[in-house]
């Protein structure tokens, strides 16, 4: 099964009233890391990210270990290392019980994790079949710059990055444009046969 695994997310402390924290895998720069981190940071204000072993240390270690190296991330609601109460104030005390959890935080955590997984399933590397700048109006894709200048500019910026070296998540992160907007536009290019898809690693 290990050879077929592209990644995973270990969950802990997801119902606490702390900012969400994503701990990256041992490698830290896999397609799964980049896509999950992008969605994590876009999903909730105050979200923070740390390198491997930078938030918690639990069962994600076994997947990241030598001879396995499955990019297993960790998502939690923990305070950072420099906080006096990290990972949370009640940790390993008599007050560390279900009373400190919040159903609303648990639900938000669930929604974010599902967004991460959904985005990764949609992520791929668009490879250009066009040269230069595609004539979008000829394919019925163009947006009137007088009606939506921001979207018009974003489409041009996205096209500049489509050369097979950037995934949808890469493009979204580098341009600071929502993943769903980038994905939607690139799918239009695919339907117009202006790109082909190369799967994420």
pLDDT digits (tens, 9 = 90+) for 43-82: 999 999 999 999 988 999 999 999 999 999 999 999 888 8
User: 28-32, 77-81, 140-144: lowest mean pLDDT where?
Assistant: 140-144
pLDDT at 62: 96
Cα–Cα distance, 12 to 18 (Å, whole number): 12
Q: Using one digit for the tens of pLDDT, what is the confidence trace for 3-26? A: 889 999 999 999 999 999 999 999
Instruction: Select 2-122's CATH number: 3.30.413.10, 3.40.1180.10, 1.10.3720.10, 3.40.630.10.
Output: 3.40.630.10
Confidence of residue 153 (pLDDT cuts 50, 70, 90): confident
3-state DSSP call for residue 86? Answer: coil
pLDDT at 99: 87
pLDDT at position 143 over 90: no
Q: Using one digit for the tens of pLDDT, what is the confidence trace for 75-120? A: 999 988 888 888 888 888 888 888 889 999 999 999 999 999 999 9
Cα–Cα distance, 178 to 42 (Å, whole number): 8
Scored b (16 or more CB within 10 A) or e, 109-123 reads beebbebbbebbebb
pLDDT at 142: 79
List Cβ neighbours of 93 (8 Å cut-off, separation of 6 or more): none
CA atoms within 13 A on the CB side of 23: 27
Cα–Cα distance, 76 to 48 (Å, whole number): 10
Confidence of residue 127 (pLDDT cuts 50, 70, 90): very high
Supply the Cα-derived Rg of the chain in whole angstroms.
Answer: 20
CATH class of 124-199: mainly alpha
12: DSSP letter: E
Mean pLDDT of the chain: 93
Q: Where are the domains of the chain?
A: 2-122, 124-199
């Amino acid at each position: 099964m290990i050879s077929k695994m592209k990644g995973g997310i270990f969950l802990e402390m997801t119902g606490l009233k702390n900012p969400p924290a994503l701990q990256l895998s041992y490698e830290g720069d896999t397609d799964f890391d980049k896509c999950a981190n992008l969605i994590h940071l876009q999903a909730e204000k105050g979200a923070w990210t740390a390198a491997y072993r930078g938030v918690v240390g639990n069962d994600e270690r076994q997947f990241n270990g030598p001879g396995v190296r499955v990019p297993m991330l960790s998502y939690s609601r923990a305070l950072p290392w420099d906080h006096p109460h990290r990972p949370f104030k009640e940790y390993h005390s008599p007050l560390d019980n279900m009373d400190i959890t919040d159903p609303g935080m648990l639900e938000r955590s669930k929604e974010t994790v599902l967004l991460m997984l959904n985005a990764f399933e949609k992520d791929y590397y668009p490879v250009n079949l066009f040269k230069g700048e595609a004539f979008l109006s000829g394919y019925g894709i163009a947006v009137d710059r007088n009606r939506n200048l921001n979207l018009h500019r974003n489409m041009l910026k996205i096209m500049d990055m489509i050369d097979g070296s950037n995934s949808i998540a890469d493009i979204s992160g580098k341009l600071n444009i929502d993943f769903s907007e980038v994905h939607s536009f690139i799918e239009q290019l695919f339907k117009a046969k202006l790109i082909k898809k190369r799967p994420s690693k």
